[in-house]
Amino acid sequence: MVYHIEELSNKNATDWKRVNEESKEGDFFHKLEWKRILEQSLNFKSHCFLLYRNDEPVALCPFYESSINGVRGLVSLPDSDYNHIIVTDQYDPLIAYHILEKCNEIARENKLSFILITTLRESIKDYFSKYNPLPYPIGGNMMLDLEKSGPDSIWSEVLSQRDRKHIRRFEKDGFKIKEINSIDHIKMFYKYYKANLESIDAAPHSFSHFEDLLRTYSSTEMILTLLYNNKIIAGGQLAFLHYPKKTVYLRYLSLNRDLPNRYRPTTYMRWNWIRRASEMGYSKICFGRTPPDPNDIHYQLKEKFGCHFEKEHSFIFPRSYLFKIGYNIYYTIYNFTKKYISR
């Protein structure tokens, strides 16, 4: 078997698209349009490549320069709900070897301090583990399978009486969901999106990022909504639509934090997307990245809709001795803090 690597280009873009569409692991965030968003809108420098075996692509490797605590490294798909490499043959250990060799070459040429690789497959995890990576916290997403539980069963068997009451309250008080695509409406959405993140000391994306999204994606690929009545805006939600995998991805929650406590806009907007996704013929909804802790409040709020946690496996390979020492100290503190808080 002969292996070779090609950097992603116009010449092999069709191979990238085909593998993403045909692979079980393919998704919205591995599409080339998202690559342009990461590069142009979020200013990530890309190093994407394909691994071929006998002229057939066997791995898609979407890597970008990103930082951990101010230290730059090579990271697979940063700022994305799904950030894994795609491997078509889970039984070939040489694939991991060739990917890591290419990543080391990129890191050396660009003076990067670490390599962070993520996979969804247990077998691929085992192949990378042989190269002695440092431990990395488990990550993943909460996913709802509408083929196992449709809106009717979720309403009657999964949602609590209290959640159903909160949903009915919006309907009783005249709230509606409206699709938006004008700049003025997006400014309203952004106002509450920005305030919501700042209230939890998180950094919001710039308004220009949402303008870029609007220019990049059609109404069949992205929908922005506002929840409102005649008097107030309760919040909003952005959804990416990936029909080849019949999956909806919920991102960029916009919330009016000044609403009375009697309202739970997040509950209503999520329920709206459960009904809507089912009506549109979608079978899965990704509720976004979530800590893998069943005691975490965000985990619990998504689990109450019937979501299950999809685990990913990440590996960090140090490229410098100083980074290795610093990271080990950081990881030790992280684990200690996690155990202390969980008590």
**Residue in the structure block whose two tokens are 């889970």:** 90
pLDDT tens figures, 187-245: 999 999 999 999 999 999 999 999 999 999 999 999 999 999 988 999 999 999 999 99
CATH number for domain 147-282, candidates 3.90.550.10, 3.40.190.10, 3.40.50.920, 3.40.630.30? 3.40.630.30
Q: Tokens for 114? A: 């670490």
Residue 24: which H helix or E strand, with range? Answer: none
Q: Tokens for 185? A: 């409406």
pLDDT reported for residue 188: 94
pLDDT reported for residue 343: 47
Radius of gyration of the chain (CA): 21
pLDDT in tens, the chain (343 residues): 899 999 999 999 999 999 999 999 999 999 999 999 999 999 999 999 999 999 999 999 999 999 988 999 999 999 999 999 999 999 999 999 999 999 999 999 999 999 999 999 999 999 999 999 998 988 999 999 999 999 999 999 999 999 999 999 999 999 999 999 888 999 999 999 999 999 999 999 999 999 999 999 999 999 999 999 988 999 999 999 999 999 999 999 999 999 999 999 999 999 999 999 999 999 999 999 999 999 999 999 999 999 999 999 999 999 988 899 988 887 887 676 665 544 4
Q: Tell whether domain 3-139+312-342 is in CATH 3.30.379.10.
A: no
Q: Tokens for 248? A: 């909806």
The residues, ordered by sequence, that sit 6+ positions from 333 with a Cβ below 8 Å of its Cβ are none
Nearest-angstrom CA–CA distance, 140 and 323: 25
The residues, ordered by sequence, that sit 6+ positions from 329 with a Cβ below 8 Å of its Cβ are none
**Residue in the structure block whose two tokens are 């057939």:** 56
Give the C-alpha distances (Å, rounded to integers) separating 120 from 85, 90, 208, 246, 263. 8, 11, 32, 19, 37
Sequence letter at residue 228? Y
Nearest-angstrom CA–CA distance, 155 and 30: 33
Q: Tokens for 168? A: 């009915």
Q: Tokens for 311? A: 């685990």
pLDDT reported for residue 180: 94
The residues, ordered by sequence, that sit 6+ positions from 23 with a Cβ below 8 Å of its Cβ are 60, 86, 88
Give the C-alpha distances (Å, rounded to integers) separating 326 from 40, 67, 74, 332. 31, 14, 17, 10
Count of C-beta atoms within a 10 Å radius of residue 98: 19
Residues of the chain with CATH 3.40.630.30: 3-139+312-342, 147-282
pLDDT reported for residue 332: 81
Give this prediction's pTM: 0.94
Q: Is 164 left (phi over 0), alpha (psi -120 to 50) or beta?
A: alpha
Nearest-angstrom CA–CA distance, 26 and 86: 7
Nearest-angstrom CA–CA distance, 269 and 287: 11
Asked if 227 and 177 count as a contact pair (C-beta separation under 8 A), the reply is: yes
Give the C-alpha distances (Å, rounded to integers) separating 26 from 30, 38, 148, 285. 7, 18, 21, 15
Nearest-angstrom CA–CA distance, 176 and 139: 34
